[in-house]
Amino acid sequence: MLNTLNGLFIAAVLAGTPLLLGALGEILTEKSGNLNLGVEGMMFMGAITGLAGSYYYEQAVISAGGNPNGVLSAAIALLTSFLAGAGGALIYSFLTITLRANQNVTGLTLTIFGTGFGNFFGEYIGQKAGGYVAVSETTKKAFSGLHIPGLSDIPVIGPLLFEYNWLVYFAIIAAVVMAWFFNRSRVGLNLRAVGEDPATADAAGINTTLYKYLATVIGGGISGIGGMYMSMVTTSGVWVHDCVSGYGWLAVALVIFATWSPARGMVVALIFGGLTIMRMYVNIPGLPAQIYDMFPYIATILVLVITSMRPVSYTHLRAHETRRHLQCPLIH
């Protein structure tokens, strides 16, 4: 029983990491007042560009008679996936911030575009490569679980907390830094002001357009890294058609469940990760597998219902906090 619970926890962490990264990107975006429903599209773009970046780096080094470096290959995957997600978000930003296009329609269009982008180039590069795209064992090892001397050797606790791949710890650090950024830094408070009351923020001298662009583009880049996790870790460095399918929408649901909090997002990502792989550990006879896929969305609906029943308007409280912050002379 204990081994089953340990296995479920580890699998939940691994499955929840791409959801956390996608959600962090969307939280940063929504804090600026933009609703980008193109998370799944940006994750698809990050998934294929991250894998392709590592793959082409390896091919170039091998063609030159050298041996690929796993750390450098992983860094290239990280950078290319971030740039791809940021590029998709930049398109969204230009259309919605500069041209004032409808955010919902633009976000959905980005999802469709990104999904097609990922699957098309995944299949295209696979055909050029002889059937499928796959990175070398050197790069796969760079994305495998770490062994932290001393910590990983602690009985029970070591395997549960200190033997994950580096992207898991990257996501946790990103969530902690983002939580501090929103609540403690001047720029983060300004960003919240832009999202909650842009007219007041503009009157206070904050460049609302710049803040919206930067938050949306960087948020898209973080979501792209979440997609890269799917292609480099979940599918072990092999391109699988529709490998990100559904995860972008789960990330959006996670944002709502966590009530736009990066700190709570870490906990909710663990819950959602556990729900997505529960079918492998908890088998209820006669229960269709699709029912398990519904659990995260059902939980999100319940949270929406509960939060909407609050006696005091959360929006009004946040607006009051924003106005009080803008009156502070240290904002500039």
For 79-102, give one letter per residue: b (16+ CB within 10 A) or e: bbbbbbbbbbbbbbbebbbeeeee
Whole-number percent of the chain with pLDDT over 90: 75
Q: What is the pLDDT of residue 331?
A: 44
Residue numbers of the domain that contains 265: 2-331
Longest C-alpha distance within the chain, in Å?
A: 68
d(CA 122, CA 281): 31
Do the beta carbons of residue 132 and residue 239 sit within 8 Å?
Answer: yes
Which residue has better confidence, 329 or 182?
Answer: 182
**pLDDT score, position 3:** 79
**pLDDT recorded at residue 326:** 56
Structural domains in the chain (count): 1
State the pTM of this model: 0.91
pLDDT attached to residue 320: 53
pLDDT band per the 50, 70, 90 thresholds, residue 323: low
Phi then psi dihedrals of residue 131, to 5 deg: 140, -40
**CA–CA separation, 107 and 93 (whole Å):** 10
Q: What is the mean pLDDT of residues 36-48?
A: 98
Question: For 104-118, 146-160, 185-199, 203-217, which range has the lowest pLDDT when averaged over its residues?
Answer: 146-160
CATH number at residue 151: 1.10.3470
Per-residue pLDDT, averaged over 282-310, amounts to 79
- The HSE-up count of residue 317 (CA atoms within 13 Å, CB side) is 5
> Residue 221 pLDDT more than 60?
yes
Please determine, for residue 189, whether its predicted confidence score (pLDDT) is greater than 60: yes
In this predicted structure, what is the pLDDT of residue 38?
A: 97
Q: For position 113, what pLDDT does the model report?
A: 98
Cβ atoms of 31 and 214 closer than 8 Å: no
Mean pLDDT of 114-121: 97
